């Protein structure tokens, strides 16, 4: 039985590696002619790290990233509203969260995957289900293949999903995010901390992603698809965050224009089903979430783990229903909690009350939720 994966992003490549380890026959197709050094930072929480460890790539990930041992939601002056030392997480799982450049992670996963099974410059066009159950897959270059199972890992704008479930829709959060990578090195007490600073309807996040690079993001309320003059981006952001700690404006000022990426924040309106017949959606293609919990990539990585295990345990059978049953509860919690957190961070009124509530939540409750989020079945 052959599995065809569409998309060589983090979810698709992790799935390929998981299939490789389990001896599952596969091939992976990616529309890009080469993997470019694009993107900014990504957090890999212990649930993702456990999967990467099982695939034998954890040490490589750690060598290219930076551990986050303390997670802080704070005020504009860096004073904490909610502060979580991650020692208890390390005691349970053996490690905390790793921050890494998204392009470095994708490159690492790509290089670990057998190159003869990766086909670049192959943009998915459409599929056709034959009476036998075999699927014909058509590409933009007029070529086609046949496969037993089709797995869509082609992101929130998935072409496979649009054909499979044409009624599926994205949801705009009302927020736009600017992401940047700069060579500024943080002070020693900030090197292993992840910050998100909340102010009046704007917020700013910071984490070191490698020994000489810092990742930041700035989130603002905005209409969708606003066109910006790129030459004025830094000036706009510097003015917007002028009342924040000088570290924030220093990070913005030190970032090259080409290293600043703008994207509107969407998730996927939850689907009742991620699969139909011999076709299944994974990662952002099936359950895209907003980035407010740092779990988008992690949930795609978890998908790879559970799907490969189910296929290996049920040779030749369609396991997609079992896969969704195993994953849906956790994924739904992440999507819903992340959406709510993003809205709360940008409250126009009641910010003092919000901060009071965050400070008042017992650490034991926060810790318990984190532990549950990071658990995976062995």
Six-digit token pair at 300? 């795609």
Asked whether the beta carbons of 171 and 218 are under 8 A apart, the reply is: no
46-54 vs 363-374: helix crossing angle, rounded to 10: 30
Asked whether the beta carbons of 159 and 124 are under 8 A apart, the reply is: yes
Summarised one tens digit per residue, pLDDT across range 328-346 is: 999 999 999 999 999 999 9
Instruction: Tell me the pLDDT band of 347, cut-offs 50, 70 and 90.
Output: confident
How much is the average pLDDT of 349-361?
86
Six-digit token pair at 42? 């990504």
Summarised one tens digit per residue, pLDDT across range 147-189 is: 999 999 999 999 999 999 999 999 999 999 999 999 998 999 9
Summarised one tens digit per residue, pLDDT across range 186-237 is: 999 999 999 999 998 999 999 999 988 999 999 999 999 999 898 899 999 9
User: What is the rounded CA–CA span in Å between residue 296 and residue 10?
Assistant: 10
**Chain position carrying tokens 């037993």:** 148
* Pairing, β 149-152 against β 2-6: parallel
pTM for the whole thing? 0.96
- CA–CA distances in Å: residue 328 to residues 40, 260, 295, 302, 333: 28, 34, 14, 12, 8
Six-digit token pair at 21? 């380890």
Summarised one tens digit per residue, pLDDT across range 54-66 is: 999 999 999 999 9
DSSP 56: T
């Amino acid at each position: 039985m052959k599995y065809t994966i569409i998309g060589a992003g983090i979810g698709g490549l992790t799935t390929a590696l998981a299939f490789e380890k389990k001896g599952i026959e596969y091939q992976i197709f990616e529309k890009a002619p080469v993997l470019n050094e694009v993107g900014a930072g990504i957090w890999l929480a212990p649930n993702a790290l456990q999967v990467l460890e099982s695939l034998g790539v954890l040490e490589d990930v750690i060598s290219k990233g930076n551990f986050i041992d303390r997670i802080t939601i704070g005020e504009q002056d860096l004073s904490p509203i909610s502060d979580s030392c991650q020692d208890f997480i390390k005691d349970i799982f053996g490690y905390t969260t790793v921050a890494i450049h998204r392009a470095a992670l994708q490159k690492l996963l790509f290089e670990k995957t057998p190159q003869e099974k990766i086909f670049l410059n192959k943009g998915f066009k459409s599929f056709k289900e034959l009476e036998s159950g075999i699927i014909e897959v058509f590409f933009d270059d007029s070529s086609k293949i046949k496969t037993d199972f089709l797995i869509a890992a082609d992101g929130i704008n998935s072409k496979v999903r649009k054909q499979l479930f044409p009624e599926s829709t994205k949801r705009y959060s009302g927020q736009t995010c600017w992401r940047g990578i700069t060579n500024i090195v943080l002070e020693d007490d900030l090197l292993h901390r992840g910050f998100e600073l909340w102010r009046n309807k704007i917020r700013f996040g910071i984490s070191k992603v490698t020994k000489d690079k810092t990742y930041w993001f700035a989130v603002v309320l905005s209409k969708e698809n606003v066109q910006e003059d790129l030459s004025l981006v830094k000036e706009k952001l510097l003015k917007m965050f002028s009342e924040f700690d000088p570290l924030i404006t220093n990070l913005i000022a030190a970032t090259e224009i080409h290293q600043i990426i703008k994207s509107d924040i969407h998730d996927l309106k939850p689907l009742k089903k991620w699969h139909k017949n011999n076709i299944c959606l994974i990662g952002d293609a099936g359950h895209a979430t907003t980035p407010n919990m740092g779990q988008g990539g992690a949930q795609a990585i978890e998908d790879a783990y559970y799907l490969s295990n189910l296929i290996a345990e049920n040779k030749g059978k369609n396991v997609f229903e079992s896969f969704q049953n195993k994953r849906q509860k956790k994924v739904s919690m992440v999507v819903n909690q992340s959406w709510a957190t993003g809205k709360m961070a940008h409250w126009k009124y009641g910010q003092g009350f919000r901060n009071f509530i965050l400070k008042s939540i017992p650490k034991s409750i926060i810790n318990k939720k984190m532990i549950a989020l990071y658990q995976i079945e062995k």
